[in-house]
Structure 1
Amino acid sequence: MGRRVAVFSLGGTIAMTGGPAGGVVPTLTAADLVAAVPALATTGVTLDVHDFRRLPGASLGFDDLLALVTAAGREVAGGADGVVVTQGTDTIEETSYALDLLWPYDAPLVVTGAMRNPTLAGADGPANLLAAVTVAAAPASRRIGCLVVLGDEIHAARWVRKTHTTAPAAFRSPDIGPVGLVAEGRARVLARPARHPLDLQVRDPGAVRTAVLPVVLGDDGATLRRAGSGLDGLVVAGFGVGHVPAATVAVLGELAAGMPVVLASRVGAGPVLTATYGFPGSESDLLSRGLVAAGTLDCYKARVLLHLLLAAGADRDRIATAFGTIGAGEVAGD
């Protein structure tokens, strides 16, 4: 029996055409996207298309993702071998990681999009959709959660980042690189990240307020104090391996006494350390004041994890345990 893949379109550049007021806007349906790729008919994969949202990537939210997981889960329960999600690239590094944490199934969930809209020469959407379907249909893609496929590279949602505003090859996984590739119509999975789906019931993510706040040169903590007063949880993006100006230390300690505060790095690659430096504002100083280390999670993915944990009612101890496990960043078999 042939493979079956469900395709959910959420909008984004891949689905954009010229709008009445100038500029491009999301107008194409899931069926339109599939029809633009004749080669899909030669793969032997049956496609079930779903026009799920028609939004720019920047307007997607956690509620959209929860609804998507529910709908995609029904497709898998009904026999789909995998799921493809097309969306705007603006938020793929965050949405894909949220989906990875929320997706409990063995079937692959593959996110793709486009850097060049269909009105431009060299639009990359059709090739990316073909590659994504190939990956979603491949048995080798099972049991590794959510994957991001663009430019014939397979990235783990856990690691991938958008690293350029306009370049076609905008997506990279700075710490480990791609976990696979598509070549000659075949998905080749070369590494298998360990899975950590949340074993928690996420209730109302819209009721939770979290933020990422970077420290900056000359920071005195006033912005942190003002912003933190209206939050349920905070990710502070520190310098380097997790350092902040000494003037912010007392504020961060006060905030951590009242809500979960996660210490990440604003660098975008590499781990937050825990016990190397000892000066005021160092990583060891901040952790002793109750902050939680993000490990190898960058600040944006750390915020996604924190937000979902809080929306599931996790307390500080459960949050610290989750970051200790997930932030380690191991691959399967380690």
Structure 2
Amino acid sequence: MTVALFTLGGTIAMAGARADGSGGTVVTRLTGADLTAAVPGLDVPLDVHDTQAVPSANLTFRHLLDLVDAASRAVRAGARGVVVTQGTDTLEESAYLIDLVWPHPEPLVVTGAMRNPTLASPDGPGNLLAAARVAAADQARDLGALVVLNDEIHAARRVRKTHATSTAAFTSPDTGPLGHVIEGEVRVLNRPPRRPALAVPTGPPARVALHTVTLDDDGSTLAALADTHQGLVVAGFGVGHVPSDLAPVLGTLATRIPVVLTSRTGAGSVLTHTYGAIGSETDLRRRGLINGGLLDPYKARVLLRLLLAGGEADKTDIAEAFAQHA
């Protein structure tokens, strides 16, 4: 049985200089056939599908949901698993969106590269090889969407890009990797519970803002947000704190649109009832903010957009969805 490979561009597929001879930047896209030809010891049959050739910064929900549809068709046609290659800039968000709606036991593995093929030690071939082996492995079934780079296997809902250039940029700060690829063997060391897949929305995309709280932040830029957006994610200090002047602004917004509270720290959970001052997590919860739990702000925004686009407007139901998926 083969593994379906879908290519979306990104650093892993970039090579060559500009056609005008100016040089200095990589712009030419490598095809899936080019990528697989560069992988020594590739021992997994791949069925290649070249799709949207866009930088990951230009990917949209629609791109990714269309990809999920195509990947689902490949699985129903007999693919053992799926690999998706894309740029790393938005990889943590796109992998999480895919994970939320991926209904199959077959693994869908997202990978990319931090060093492009023109450099002395590109990591793309090794990452593609490891991803293909994970996608074909029985051990990876029923784990949803996975992220595989640097021979590490990460759950899509926990992984983050934590460095701008390092080949070890992708980590899971709260849990560590699920496993590793060791001498070509897939080793899954822990298996988190699988969440039920959410329905793929058919409605228009929802507009969800993300506000990172900063020192002396009074929220003056947020006052009219409910007139233009359907939801808001707040990246608060520490365990979910904001300046006291910002708290009533967020509380007023929470009466009109769902407002989800997360932490800007990059690891750890928002608390619920430890601190009680104005602007604390207890105060914000009392004002109607939804607890984002362990989800980082970027993933919380993905989940809230998906729920709103699917027609979910009841704040109690949204809070329950966050409790389940965070």
Corresponding position of 2:304: 306
Among 22, 35, 38, which residue is 1:36 paired with? 38
Q: Is the 8 A contact 2:226 2:257 kept in 1?
A: no
**Letter of the 2:63 counterpart:** D
Q: Which ranges in structure 2 are unaligned for 5 or more consecutive residues?
A: none
Superposed displacement of residue 116, structure 1: 0.3
Q: Deviations over 1:221-258 (max 9, x none)?
A: 10222444311110001000000001011110111000
Q: Deviations over 1:144-190 (max 9, x none)?
A: 10000000000110100000101111111000111000011111111
Q: Secondary structure at the match of 1:6?
A: strand
**Letter of the 1:37 counterpart:** V
TM-score between the two structures when normalised by the length of structure 2: 0.96
**Letter of the 2:27 counterpart:** V
Q: Is the 8 A contact 2:83 2:109 kept in 1?
A: yes
Corresponding position of 1:176: 175
**Letter of the 2:40 counterpart:** P
**Aligned mates of 2:28, 2:167 — CA distance in 1:** 19
Q: Deviations over 1:238-291 (max 9, x none)?
A: 000000001011110111000100000100100000000111000011011111
Q: Is the 8 A contact 2:262 2:297 kept in 1?
A: yes
Corresponding position of 1:332: none
- Counterparts in 2 of 1:73-222, with a 5 A limit? 73-206=72-205, 208-222=206-220
TM-score between the two structures when normalised by the length of structure 1: 0.94
**Aligned mates of 2:215, 2:167 — CA distance in 1:** 33
Q: Secondary structure at the match of 1:317?
A: helix
- Counterparts in 2 of 1:208-287, with a 5 A limit? 208-287=206-285
Corresponding position of 1:61: 60
**Aligned mates of 2:311, 2:192 — CA distance in 1:** 27
Are 1:47 and 2:46 matched, yes or no? yes
**Aligned mates of 2:203, 2:115 — CA distance in 1:** 34
Q: Which moved more, 1:19-28 or 1:117-126?
A: 19-28
Change (3 A) 1:121 1:204: farther
Q: Is the 8 A contact 1:63 1:205 kept in 2?
A: no
Q: Secondary structure at the match of 2:3?
A: strand
Q: Which ranges in structure 1 are unaligned for 5 or more consecutive residues?
A: 328-334
Change (3 A) 1:203 1:309: same
Q: Is the 8 A contact 1:11 1:26 kept in 2?
A: no
Superposed displacement of residue 200, structure 1: 2.6
Change (3 A) 1:205 1:302: farther
**Aligned mates of 1:214, 1:286 — CA distance in 2:** 15
**Letter of the 1:25 counterpart:** V
**Aligned mates of 2:18, 2:9 — CA distance in 1:** 14
Change (3 A) 1:52 1:124: same
**Aligned mates of 2:222, 2:28 — CA distance in 1:** 36
Q: Is the 8 A contact 1:13 1:26 kept in 2?
A: no
Q: Deviations over 1:200-230 (max 9, x none)?
A: 3412353x10121111101111022244431
**Letter of the 2:155 counterpart:** A
**Aligned mates of 2:62, 2:324 — CA distance in 1:** 25
Q: Secondary structure at the match of 1:122?
A: coil
Superposed displacement of residue 197, structure 1: 3.8
Among 2, 5, 27, which residue is 2:29 paired with? 27
Q: Secondary structure at the match of 2:311?
A: coil
Structure having the higher helix fraction is: 1
Q: Secondary structure at the match of 2:52?
A: strand
Q: Deviations over 1:132-155 (max 9, x none)?
A: 000000000000100000000001
Superposed displacement of residue 109, structure 1: 0.2
Q: Is the 8 A contact 2:160 2:172 kept in 1?
A: yes
**Letter of the 1:38 counterpart:** P
**Aligned mates of 2:88, 2:204 — CA distance in 1:** 22
Superposed displacement of residue 26, structure 1: 5.0
**Letter of the 1:76 counterpart:** V
